Structure 1
Amino acid sequence: MHYIVGIIGLFVFLFLAWVMSSDKKKIKIKPIITMLVIQFVLGFILLNTFVGTFIVGHIARAFEKLLGFAAEGVNFVFGGLVNAEESTFFIGVLLPIIFISALIGILQYTKILPVFMKGIGFVLSKVSGMGKLESYNAVASAMIGQSEVFITLKNQLAHISNQRLYTLCASAMSTVSMAIVGSYMTLIKPEYVVTAIVLNLFGGFIIASIINPYTVHDEEDLIETKDKKQSFFEVLGEYILDGFKVAVIVGAMLIGFVAIIAMINGIFDAVFGVTFQQVLGYVFAPLAFMTGIPWSESVNAGSIMATKIVTNEFVAMGELAGTTIDFSERTTALISVFLVSFANFSSIGIISGAVKGLDDEKGNVVAKFGLKLLYGATLVSFLTTAVVGLIY
Structure 2
Amino acid sequence: MNYVIGIIGLVIILGVTWLASNNRKKVKYKPIIIMIILQFILGFILLNTTVGNVLIAGIANGFGQLLKYAGEGINFVFGGLVNQKEFSFFLGVLMPIVFISALIGILQHLKVLPFIVKYIGLALSKVNGMGKLESYNAVASAILGQSEVFISVKKQLGLLSERRLYTLCASAMSTVSMSIVGSYMVLLKPQYVVTALVLNLFGGFIIASIINPYDVTEKEDMLEVQETEKKSFFEVLGEYIMDGFKVAITVAAMLIGFIALIAFINAVFKGIIGISFQEILGYVFAPFAFIIGVPWHEAVNAGNIMATKLVSNEFVAMTNLAQGNFHFTERTTAIISVFLVSFANFSSIGIIAGAVKSLNEKQGNVVARFGLKLLLGATLVSFLSATIVGLIV
Question: Following superposition of structure 1 onto structure 2, how do residues 210-359 of structure 1 map, counting pairs within 5 Å?
Answer: 210-225=210-225, 226-359=227-360
Instruction: Look up the match of 1:389.
Output: 390
Partners in 2 of 1:220 and 1:317 — Cα distance?
40
Q: Distance in 2 between matches of 1:227 and 1:332?
A: 42
Do 1:71 and 1:82's aligned partners in 2 also have CA atoms closer than 8 Å? no
What does 1:1-392 align with in structure 2 at a 5 Å threshold?
1-79=1-79, 84-225=84-225, 226-392=227-393
Query: CA shift at 1:227, angstroms?
Result: 1.1
Q: Which runs of 5+ in 2 are unaligned?
A: none
Amino acid at match of 2:151: I
**TM superposition score normalised by structure 1:** 0.99
Q: Within 2, Cα distance between the matches of 1:322 and 1:284?
A: 20
Shift of 1:298: 0.4
Deviations 1:167-200 (A, max 9, x none): 0000000000000000000001000000000000
Which amino acid in structure 2 is aligned with residue 332 of structure 1? T
Q: Deviations over 1:65-123 (max 9, x none)?
A: 11111111111101166682223211111010000000000000000000000111111
Number of aligned pairs?
392
Distance of 2:80 and 2:45 partners within structure 1: 39
Counterparts of 2:324 and 2:66, CA distance in 1: 28
SS at match of 2:155: coil
- Report the Cα distance in structure 1 between the residues aligned to 2:82 and 2:8, rounded to whole angstroms: 45
Contact in 2 for aligned 1:81/1:87 (Cα 8 Å): no
TM-score, with normalisation over the residues of structure 2?
Answer: 0.98
CA deviation vs aligned residue, 1:188-222 (integer Å, no higher than 9, x gap): 10000000000000000100001100011111111
- Between 1:346-355 and 1:73-82, the stretch displaced more is 73-82
Letter of the 2:78 partner, please give it.
F
Separation (CA, whole Å) in 2 of partners of 1:341 and 1:211:
19
> SS of the residue aligned with 2:22?
coil
Distance (whole Å) between structure 1 residues aligned to residue 82 and residue 311 of structure 2:
29
Q: After TM superposition, give the deviation of residue 272 of structure 1 in Å.
A: 1.1
SS of 1:227's equivalent in the other structure is coil
Report the alpha carbon displacement of residue 326 of structure 1 after superposing the two structures with TM.
1.4
Secondary structure of 1:220's aligned partner:
coil
Cα distance in 1 between the residues matched to 2:381 and 2:300: 20
Structure 2 CA distance, aligned partners of 1:35 and 1:56? 22
* Partner SS for 1:156: helix
Amino acid at match of 2:139: V
Tell which deviates more after alignment, 265-274 or 55-64.
Answer: 265-274
In structure 2, C-alpha distance between the alignment counterparts of 1:125 and 1:52, rounded to whole Å: 25
Secondary structure of 1:159's partner? Answer: coil
Q: Is the 8 A contact 1:18 1:211 kept in 2?
A: yes
Q: Give, in whole Å, the separation in 2 of the partners of 1:191 and 1:82.
A: 29
Letter matched to residue 2 of structure 1 = N
2: CA distance, partners of 1:83 / 1:129: 53
Q: Structure 2 vs 1, CA of residues 337 and 25 (structure 1 numbering), >3 Å: closer, same or farther?
A: same
Residue identity in the other structure for 1:301: A
RMSD: 0.9
